[in-house]
């Protein structure tokens, strides 16, 4: 039940309806320049190599931003969109460091700042069974909304039927272990400024590989340290008893668990 | 007035400076908390983390590592002669953690929600673990520190209770601290594409831990030297020499791990390229790790107070550069933007350090931080040659060495161009590169995993030109379709720098002639007259 977008850059005519629709539905200022993602621009058209490239959150299948959020403010809804609970966020901005696509933006000028990014119209539309605003308004049919698997099939069909019109790559199929937003392009994605990210590799797994070893590490190091503490302490007490600085009784008083061994050997 | 004098002692120049810094810090805090991060800092969407995370948190936690290392030495491994420096080391760590918590309050967008990780859990997050470690270890440190307070107040019963618990408490502290130190490195493990390969590694947690142990030990040495001066105490020479030997071993382990890691990932060649990253890498590794290691390995340096002080200072400085490299330098390539902290950010950082120093001074005055003088272990050969291992540490050679370091550092930073805010006069071309570079990397990037491409190049605008032309190899190369031979050497010469050869390109040949227009003819690629802005970067942009 993962739903997402298929954005076909060969079909995009660069009209900008999606940008305006996004701003309307999310109540963002309509007149701000749309040249880069920022707190008030969740999607914009990037002019590259003669094409217009719709930029937005990729909605990863296993999003780095959600895995790193210490309070779970950023999370993936069961339907696919990666959404944000502003009442939980404490503003550590780790999501911005972790996102391999560099998407989340911050309200730097606010005194109660929030992280801002496309939420695939989850709250306003997708939750109610409607298409995201950008997909609903696109006059060129460049933004398709649906089940991710259907979108992948559709993308493959286009690549098969019109191989000359596209580079043979569905961006988002394998990037960062797969994203809900997929792109087709007539030009290599590297030339369009799409970031090079790890393929077939889910980012949260990188830190989880470390975190999952922690409990074992704590147990082993705890046992080791307690052992060393007991051993060196016992040796110290025994040395003092031997030097005649302590009587056995005093040693027992000082540290019963240590002196157990010391006492026996004295006897 | 008399009361104040009793509390703080006589007013000296240093106390005046500290006081002024604290006042400046209070002003900075007022600006930060009334006007928000945007007004107070140079942080941006391209640089969400800056000086406060890079220095105050990463360095602050790191140099506090002396606390857990010395505590474990004394209470877990029962090497009890180190008890003489355990309390100052503990105090340094405790104050370090308090300053880190303050810095986090400055840095969080919503500081009043700092408690959220306690209630809203996400155990998949490294940051969640760090939050818990930070809080729990601060509590453990307070408990480890509490005997000083109980002794002062003469509360014997709680004192006995804490003493009995000291072993297990310190063990808990070691586990929390090791987790915390390594997790700060784990933070960046999720950013393999963003952090420069000289610093990114799956081994970051181990590297962070090992380097923090070296820096924590060095910080204890540094702090001992400073306290001996401030409180007129004799230097614990034999103990500091023990720490110095430990620093040598830990630095050696660190350097081997680091070299191994760079070789294993095939990233060593980045250290030999003429980039700002390579300069800062060598500054960190050469001057901050290898040099102090070699110095401290020499017996002559270890038995000289100024030698100990100088090498410890170098180690701490190298550690600072490493953490700033990870937090700031290493991110520059990916974001393409530059960051230099605002005056206000620096004010907060400096005044937090000043607050720590002031609290250390007060504690040193009023609590039994320093034990009564003890007999120093001096080897026989030394007694024969020199009467005592005392003497000042801030001698002329040490000061001279430090000044040379500062000068080298300043030249290094200036050479890397990492100081746009101070330089002021960057020329238009550079600014345009930085602006146009929006999301692109000036660092060579592999187009197909093997090919290394030169950085983007900006052709200055000629007369009547709508703006400088930005050329990026990455827009022109892809595996399979557009290889090197399409353009080189037929159209353009290969050059070592990646910039065009002198006088090779002019506007006519680019637009109409045999160069750009060879492909940009409206068929192979868009025509050179289609849309000026496709190539000419708007210089106002």
Q: Is A261 found in the same domain as A240?
A: yes
Q: Is A99 found in the same domain as A136?
A: yes
CB-CB under 8 Å, A97 with B109: no
- Burial call B299-324: b when 16+ CB within 10 Å, e when fewer: eebbbbbbbbbbbbbbbbbbbbbbbb
B429 vs A133: which has the higher pLDDT: A133
CB-CB under 8 Å, B127 with A92: yes
Range of A260's domain? 214-266
Q: Is A134 found in the same domain as A52?
A: yes
Taking CA–CA distances from B45, the nearest residue in chain A reads: A105
Residue B339 is assigned to a structural domain of this protein: yes
Task: For chain A, give the mean pLDDT.
Answer: 91
Q: What is the CATH number of the domain that holds A107?
A: 3.30.70.20
Q: How far is A93 from chain B (nearest CA, A)?
A: 6
Phi-psi region at A167: left, alpha or beta (left = phi > 0; alpha = psi -120 to 50) = beta
Q: What are the pLDDT digits (tens) for B295-341?
A: 999 998 998 888 999 999 999 999 999 999 999 999 998 988 889 99
Using CB atoms, pick whichever of B36, B111, B167 lies closest to residue A110.
B36
| Residue recorded with tokens 């040249």 | A35
Averaged over B467-473, what is the pLDDT?
81
Q: Is B274 found in the same domain as B160?
A: yes
pLDDT attached to residue B382: 55
* Structure-token pair, residue B383: 């007694």
pLDDT attached to residue A221: 95
Q: What is the CATH number of the domain that holds B21?
A: 1.20.1630.10
Averaged over A144-149, what is the pLDDT?
96
Suggest the residue from B109, B165, B519 to mutate for an interface test with chain A (most A CBs closer than 10 A): B109
Q: Regarding beta strands B457-459 and B469-471, do their DSSP bridges make them parallel or antiparallel, or are they unpaired? A: antiparallel
pLDDT exceeds 90 at position B473: no
Q: Is B461 found in the same domain as B349?
A: no
Residue B434 is assigned to a structural domain of this protein: no
With a CB-CB cutoff of 8 Å, which residues 385-424 of chain B face chain A? none
Residue B9 is assigned to a structural domain of this protein: no
- Contacting residues for A110 by C-beta, under 8 A, at least 6 apart: B36, B38
CA–CA dist B482, B497 (Å, integer): 21
CB-CB under 8 Å, A100 with B191: yes
pLDDT attached to residue B443: 37
Q: What are the pLDDT digits (tens) for B360-414?
A: 999 988 899 987 766 666 666 555 444 444 456 667 777 777 777 777 777 666 6
pLDDT attached to residue B446: 40
Which of A231-245, B68-82, B117-131, B475-489 shows the lowest mean pLDDT across its residues?
B475-489
Residue B436 is assigned to a structural domain of this protein: no
From chain A, the residues in CB contact with B80 under 8 A are 236
CB-CB under 8 Å, A100 with B120: no
User: B9 in contact with A at a CB cutoff of 8 Å?
Assistant: no
SS3 of A144, please? strand
**Helix %, strand %, coil % for chain B, to 5?**
65, 0, 30
Q: Is B264 found in the same domain as B312?
A: yes
pLDDT attached to residue B381: 58
Q: Regarding beta strands A51-55 and A44-48, do their DSSP bridges make them parallel or antiparallel, or are they unpaired? A: antiparallel
User: B116 in contact with A at a CB cutoff of 8 Å?
Assistant: yes
Strand ranges (DSSP E) for B379-516?
457-459, 469-471
Q: Are A28 and A44 in contact (CB under 8 A)?
A: no
Domain count, chain B: 2
Q: What are the pLDDT digits (tens) for A6-62?
A: 999 999 999 999 999 999 999 999 888 889 999 999 999 999 988 999 999 999 999
Q: Is B488 found in the same domain as B349?
A: no
Q: Is B453 found in the same domain as B413?
A: no
Which of A85-99, B71-85, B196-210, B254-268 shows the lowest mean pLDDT across its residues?
B71-85
Q: Is B406 found in the same domain as B480?
A: no
CA–CA dist B195, B333 (Å, integer): 8
From chain B, the residues in CB contact with A193 under 8 A are 439-440
From chain A, the residues in CB contact with B108 under 8 A are 90-92
pLDDT attached to residue B518: 79
B336 vs A260: which has the higher pLDDT: B336
Residue B386 is assigned to a structural domain of this protein: no
Q: What are the pLDDT digits (tens) for B29-69?
A: 999 999 999 999 999 999 999 999 999 999 999 999 999 99
Q: Is A157 found in the same domain as A236?
A: no
Q: Is A230 found in the same domain as A207?
A: no
Q: What is the CATH number of the domain that holds B463?
A: 3.90.10.10
- Burial call A180-216: b when 16+ CB within 10 Å, e when fewer: bbbbbbbbbbbbbbbbbbeeeebbbebbbebbeebee
From chain B, the residues in CB contact with A112 under 8 A are 110
Q: Is A251 found in the same domain as A151?
A: no
Q: Is A244 found in the same domain as A177?
A: no
Averaged over A112-124, what is the pLDDT?
95
Using CB atoms, pick whichever of B39, B205, B438 lies closest to residue A36.
B438
- Contacting residues for B189 by C-beta, under 8 A, at least 6 apart: A206, A207, A210, B126, B202, B204, B205
Q: Taking Cα atoms as reference points, which of B26, B49, B32, B13 lies closest to residue B332? A: B49
Q: Taking Cα atoms as reference points, which of A188, A146, A244, A156 lies closest to residue B474? A: A188
pLDDT attached to residue A263: 37
Q: Is A103 found in the same domain as A38?
A: yes
Q: Is A220 found in the same domain as A92?
A: no
Q: In this complex, how many residue pairs, one in chain A and one in chain B, have their CB atoms less than 8 Å apart?
A: 197
CB-CB under 8 Å, A112 with B447: no
From chain A, the residues in CB contact with B193 under 8 A are 100, 195-198
Q: Is B465 found in the same domain as B319?
A: no
Cβ atoms within 10 A of the Cβ of B31, count? 15
Q: Is B480 found in the same domain as B347?
A: no
CA distances from B305 to B225, B229, B251, B312, B398 (A): 8, 12, 20, 11, 9
Cα B61–Cα B63–Cα B67 angle in degrees, nearest 5: 90
Alpha helix (H) ranges present in B386-453?
396-416, 420-423, 428-436
CB-CB under 8 Å, A105 with B109: no
Q: What are the pLDDT digits (tens) for B333-369?
A: 898 888 999 999 999 999 999 999 999 999 988 899 9
CB-CB under 8 Å, A96 with B48: yes
Taking CA–CA distances from A221, the nearest residue in chain B reads: B175
- Contacting residues for A199 by C-beta, under 8 A, at least 6 apart: A174, A175, A176
Q: Is A219 found in the same domain as A125?
A: no
User: B118 in contact with A at a CB cutoff of 8 Å?
Assistant: no
Domain count, chain A: 2
CB-CB under 8 Å, B171 with A68: no
From chain B, the residues in CB contact with A186 under 8 A are none
From chain A, the residues in CB contact with B534 under 8 A are 47, 49-50
User: B363 in contact with A at a CB cutoff of 8 Å?
Assistant: no
Q: Are B200 and B264 in contact (CB under 8 A)?
A: no
Alpha helix (H) ranges present in B437-513?
507-511
The pLDDT > 90 percentage for chain B reads 57
Residue B257 is assigned to a structural domain of this protein: yes
Q: Is B530 found in the same domain as B410?
A: no
Range of B517's domain? 445-541
Cβ atoms within 10 A of the Cβ of B522, count? 11
Q: Is A50 found in the same domain as A28?
A: yes
Q: Are B13 and B5 in contact (CB under 8 A)?
A: no
SS3 of B146, please? helix
Q: Is A129 found in the same domain as A107?
A: yes
CA–CA dist B338, B49 (Å, integer): 12
Q: Is B460 found in the same domain as B343?
A: no
Task: For chain B, give the mean pLDDT.
Answer: 84
Q: Which residues pair with A54 in a beta bridge?
A: A45
Q: Is B325 found in the same domain as B181?
A: yes
Taking CA–CA distances from A230, the nearest residue in chain B reads: B76
Averaged over B469-480, what is the pLDDT?
73
pLDDT exceeds 50 at position B444: no
Q: Is B350 found in the same domain as B462?
A: no
């Amino acid at each position: 039940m993962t739903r997402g977008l298929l954005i076909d850059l060969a079909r995009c005519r660069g009209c900008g309806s999606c940008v305006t629709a996004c701003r309307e539905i999310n109540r963002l200022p309509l007149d701000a320049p749309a040249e880069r993602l920022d707190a008030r621009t969740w999607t914009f058209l990037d002019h590259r190599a003669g094409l217009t490239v719709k930029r937005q959150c990729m909605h990863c299948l296993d999003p780095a931003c959600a895995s790193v959020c210490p309070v779970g403010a950023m999370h993936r809804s069961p339907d696919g969109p990666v959404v944000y609970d502003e009442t939980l966020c404490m503003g550590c901005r780790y999501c911005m460091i972790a996102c391999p696509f560099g998407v989340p933006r911050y309200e730097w000028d606010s005194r109660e700042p929030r992280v801002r990014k496309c939420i695939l119209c989850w709250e306003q539309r997708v939750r109610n069974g409607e298409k995201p605003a950008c997909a609903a308004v696109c006059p060129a049919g460049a933004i398709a909304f649906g089940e991710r698997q259907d979108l992948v099939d559709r993308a493959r069909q286009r690549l098969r039927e019109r191989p000359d019109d596209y580079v043979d790559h569905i961006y988002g199929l394998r990037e960062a272990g797969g994203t809900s937003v997929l792109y087709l392009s007539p030009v290599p994605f590297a030339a369009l400024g799409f970031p090079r990210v790890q393929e077939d590799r889910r980012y949260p797994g990188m830190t989880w590989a470390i975190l999952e070893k922690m409990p074992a590490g704590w147990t082993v190091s705890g046992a080791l340290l307690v052992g060393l503490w007991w051993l060196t302490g016992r040796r110290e007490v025994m040395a003092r008893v031997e030097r005649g600085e302590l009587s056995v009784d005093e040693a027992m008083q000082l540290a019963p668990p240590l002196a157990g061994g010391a006492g026996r050997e004295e006897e | 007035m008399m009361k104040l004098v009793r509390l703080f002692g006589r007013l000296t120049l240093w106390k005046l400076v500290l006081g002024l810094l604290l006042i400046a810090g209070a002003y900075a805090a007022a600006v930060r908390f009334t006007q928000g991060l945007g007004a107070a800092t140079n942080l941006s969407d391209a640089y969400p983390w800056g000086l406060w995370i890079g220095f105050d948190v990463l360095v602050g936690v790191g140099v506090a590592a002396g606390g857990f290392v010395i505590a474990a030495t004394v209470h877990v491994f029962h090497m009890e002669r180190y008890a003489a420096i355990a309390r100052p080391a503990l105090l340094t760590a405790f104050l370090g953690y308090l300053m880190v918590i303050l810095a986090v309050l400055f840095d969080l967008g919503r500081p009043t929600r700092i408690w959220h990780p306690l209630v809203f859990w996400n155990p998949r997050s490294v940051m969640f673990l760090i939050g818990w470690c930070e809080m729990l270890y601060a509590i453990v440190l307070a408990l480890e520190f509490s005997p000083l307070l109980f002794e002062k107040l003469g509360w014997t019963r709680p004192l006995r209770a804490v003493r009995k618990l000291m072993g297990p408490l310190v063990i808990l502290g070691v586990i929390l601290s090791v987790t915390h130190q390594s997790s700060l490195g784990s933070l960046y493990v999720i950013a393999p594409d963003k952090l420069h390969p000289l610093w990114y590694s799956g081994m970051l947690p181990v590297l962070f831990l090992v380097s923090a142990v070296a820096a924590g030990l060095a910080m204890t040495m540094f702090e001992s030297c400073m306290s001996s001066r401030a409180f007129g105490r004799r230097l614990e020479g034999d103990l500091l020499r023990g720490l110095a030997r430990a620093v040598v071993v830990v630095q050696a382990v660190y350097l081997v791990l680091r070299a191994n890691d760079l070789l294993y990932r095939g990233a060593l060649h980045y250290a030999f390229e003429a980039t700002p990253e390579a300069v800062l890498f060598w500054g960190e590794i050469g001057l901050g790790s290898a040099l102090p290691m070699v110095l401290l390995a020499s017996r002559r340096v270890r038995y000289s107070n100024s030698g100990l002080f100088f090498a410890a200072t170098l180690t701490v400085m190298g550690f600072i550069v490493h953490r700033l490299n990870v937090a700031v330098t290493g991110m520059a390539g990916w974001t393409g933007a530059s960051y230099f902290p605002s005056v206000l950010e620096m004010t907060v950082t400096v005044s937090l350090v000043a607050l720590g120093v002031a609290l250390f001074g007060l504690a040193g005055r009023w609590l039994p931080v320093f034990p009564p003088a003890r007999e120093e272990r001096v080897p026989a050969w030394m007694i024969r040659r020199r009467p005592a291992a005392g003497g000042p540490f801030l001698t002329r050679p040490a000061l001279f060495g430090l000044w040379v370091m500062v000068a080298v550092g300043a030249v290094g930073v200036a050479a890397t161009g990492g100081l746009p805010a101070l330089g002021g006069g960057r020329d238009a071309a550079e600014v345009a590169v930085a602006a146009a570079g929006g999301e692109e990397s000036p660092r060579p990037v592999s187009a197909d995993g093997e090919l290394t491409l030169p950085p983007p190049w900006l052709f200055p605008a000629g007369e009547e030109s709508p703006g400088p032309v930005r050329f990026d190899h990455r827009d022109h190369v892809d595996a399979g379709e557009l290889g090197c031979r399409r353009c080189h050497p037929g159209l353009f010469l290969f050059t070592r720098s990646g910039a065009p050869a002198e006088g090779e390109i002019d506007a006519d040949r680019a637009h109409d002639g045999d160069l750009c227009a060879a492909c940009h003819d409206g068929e192979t690629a868009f025509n050179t007259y289609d849309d000026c802005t496709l190539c000419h970067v708007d210089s106002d942009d």
